[in-house]
Structure 1
């Protein structure tokens, strides 16, 4: 067994085209994520699945008990793979993720999922701050268009900005092909 874990962040139905927050590039991200998950399972890496729900009873998205909070079947956990429930962008905040990683002797994290600019970035930064070696597989992540004041930011630019920020000081950024070849 390796000291590496794949953290699969929030690949949930809410992000599908039929969900309330459809993401750009989700289909390709899921295809790449499924390859990484299969490789982890056969290679002995640990897998941790993260699932988001809002704790507020008046939440409009990620409502507990709704179909939107279910993990997308293409990347669903296998029997025995832990699923960590979170209520904030950072998968470490208010969860037992760090404790589970420590119990498994994990030192290196590979992070994939949704959304690049929010939960992937928040979890990656926290992981780095906690001392983990972090790799983000950028093409196994997806995000959405954003707007700030009067500026519309296309998803590709949102994603690139998030990856550039992480690459500056928090994580190694890799493609699926480069990661699998390494």
Structure 2
């Protein structure tokens, strides 16, 4: 085993937010499940990562019950670590690197929510730590991003109508440009699984 699929934040927390209605990849569960099945068939490791903000009162507060895999996502098998993080990347506040070292992993396959945030940040850190990283764009999902000067408290309709809001396509394209050839190889689920 020298490869690991990292499934980042594919959790119910995101489905509790209003902006789930405009998520870039409503079939993220199906795409990630394909990667999980292919990873297991190859005898490689699947690592499950969930974002947690204890005491925050937000959808990421474990006390509210949403810090769990999205319905329909394959369940972890015995020996597949589930890691809880409190930072954007999956390394800084976890023992992910230790888990990967113990399993002899040198290559990472990145999937999850959000494309440009936790997935991209984990990719960059993983690359800096010396892992060969493959970023599977269509096994990630994201949301439109408001301009930094946008007023707080706008409705989803107002955010979507603002020409300064980055669309999900723009966010994804920017992430691919930033990562490809620098931090990762960018691939699709079909390229990795044949399906």
2:150 is the alignment partner of 1:152:
no
Contact between 2:9 and 2:113, CA under 8 Å: does it hold in 1? yes
Normalized against structure 1, the TM-score is what? 0.91
- Higher CA-based Rg: 2
2:105 aligned residue: 106
1:140 is matched with which residue? 139
Structural mapping, 1:4-43, within 5 Å: 4-16=3-15, 19-20=16-17, 22=20, 24-43=23-42
* TM-score of the superposed pair, with normalisation by structure 2: 0.85
- Greater strand fraction, Structure 1 or Structure 2: 1
Equivalent of 1:164, from 177, 186, 190?
177
1:34-77 deviation digits (Å, cap 9, x = unpaired): 0110111122010100010014x234230123232111132232
Give a deviation string over 1:97-145, Cα, whole Å, max 9, x none.
Answer: 0001001100000000000010001100000000000001110000001
**Alignment match, 1:58:** 56
Matched, 1:174 2:187: yes
Distance in 1 (CA, whole Å) between partners of 2:99 and 2:56 is 31
Tell whether the 8 Å contact from 2:3 to 2:108 is kept in structure 1 after alignment: yes
Alpha-carbon contact 1:13-1:68 (below 8 Å) kept: yes
Give unpaired runs (5+ residues) of structure 1. Answer: none
User: Which of residues 56, 62, 69 in structure 1 aligns to 2:67?
Assistant: 69
> Matched residue of 1:159: which SS?
helix
Q: Which runs of 4+ in 1 moved over 3 A?
A: none
- Cα distance in 2, alignment partners of residues 145 and 169 from structure 1: 24
* Aligned residue pairs, count: 177
